Amino acid sequence: MRSDTPPDGSAPETCASAPRRRLLCAAVAAGLGAPLLSLAADTDPSKMPAQPGDRLAFASWDEDPRPVTPADVVLDAAPLSVYPQDGASGVTRENSRLNQILLLRLDPASLDDATRARAIDGIVAYSAICTHAACAVSEWAADKRHLVCPCHSSEYDPAKGAARVTGPTARPLPALPIKLVADKLVIDGPFSAALGAPAP
């Protein structure tokens, strides 16, 4: 039978009694704890990814996190920054920056076929996370109707699937198909591509 008592009869080392053991125990605990923390984040409804059927809603820090209606989205105006909202629980999934969505309305005649198929009455939705370095795409070039990332000046054309116009990015912004349900804008499927910057 295994014994934890050292051959000299002294008390066995524990995490609390030996500095080197404490360091090793901390490392092991961190390694075992990471998956548990990740699992907890995945089950937190405010951090879960956008789901088909989620409504689009304003963030709580901007105003009451109410669902967005088509009347909120003005033709050719700067995009709204919105988040998915679980229709059943009313939880807005605003605690993950990957859930930030840009919502804007363009002339339906200006949209290419693929973009028009994902839109509703000229309203289009895209990830707000730049595909170059994962900065927030937060600027609007009104004269060109382009989405602009302030970090490295990548520009995207929302009428053409948010395709790259200029700048260092190599990919369009992922698009999100939407539909209208009871005068609310609702997610109708997954993003068209992986979110954020490519893996290093």
Domain count along the chain: 2
Report which secondary-structure segment, H or E, holds 103: strand 101-105
Q: How many CA atoms lie within 13 A of 197 on its CB side?
A: 14
Whether residue 35 sits in one domain with residue 76: no
Find out whether 147 and 132 touch, Cβ atoms under 8 Å.
no
Q: What is the rounded CA–CA span in Å between residue 111 and residue 97?
A: 27
Structural domain containing residue 20: 11-43
Whether residue 64 sits in one domain with residue 31: no
CATH code of the domain covering residue 59: 2.102.10.10
Give 63's contacts (C-beta < 8 A, 6+ positions apart).
none
Whether residue 34 sits in one domain with residue 61: no
Q: What is the rounded CA–CA span in Å between residue 21 and residue 152?
A: 47
180 assigned to some structural domain:
yes
Find out whether 139 and 149 touch, Cβ atoms under 8 Å.
yes
36 assigned to some structural domain:
yes
Whether residue 129 sits in one domain with residue 66: yes
Whether residue 162 sits in one domain with residue 127: yes
Whether residue 22 sits in one domain with residue 103: no
Q: What is the rounded CA–CA span in Å between residue 173 and residue 129?
A: 7
108 assigned to some structural domain:
yes
Q: Pull the structure tokens for residue 150.
A: 């302030």
Residue whose C-alpha is closest to residue 124's, from 50, 70, 169, 65? 70
Q: What is the rounded CA–CA span in Å between residue 191 and residue 20?
A: 48
Residue whose C-alpha is closest to residue 176's, from 86, 50, 11, 3? 50
75-109 residue pLDDT tens: 999 999 999 999 899 999 999 999 999 999 999 99
Give 53's contacts (C-beta < 8 A, 6+ positions apart).
87, 186, 187
124-183 residue pLDDT tens: 999 999 999 999 999 999 999 999 999 999 999 999 999 999 999 999 999 999 999 999
Strand partners, 125: 103
Whether residue 62 sits in one domain with residue 38: no
pLDDT band at 42 (very low <50, low <70, confident <90, very high): low
Whether residue 59 sits in one domain with residue 23: no
Whether residue 113 sits in one domain with residue 23: no
Whether residue 129 sits in one domain with residue 158: yes
3-39 residue pLDDT tens: 444 444 544 443 444 444 333 333 333 333 333 333 3
pTM > 0.75 = yes
195 assigned to some structural domain:
no
132 assigned to some structural domain:
yes
Whether residue 130 sits in one domain with residue 71: yes
DSSP 8-state secondary structure symbol assigned to residue 19: H
152 assigned to some structural domain:
yes
Q: Cα angle vertex 185, ends 184, 188, to 5°?
A: 130
Give the pLDDT of residue 198: 82
164 assigned to some structural domain:
yes
Q: What is the rounded CA–CA span in Å between residue 125 and residue 116?
A: 11
6 assigned to some structural domain:
no
Whether residue 59 sits in one domain with residue 33: no
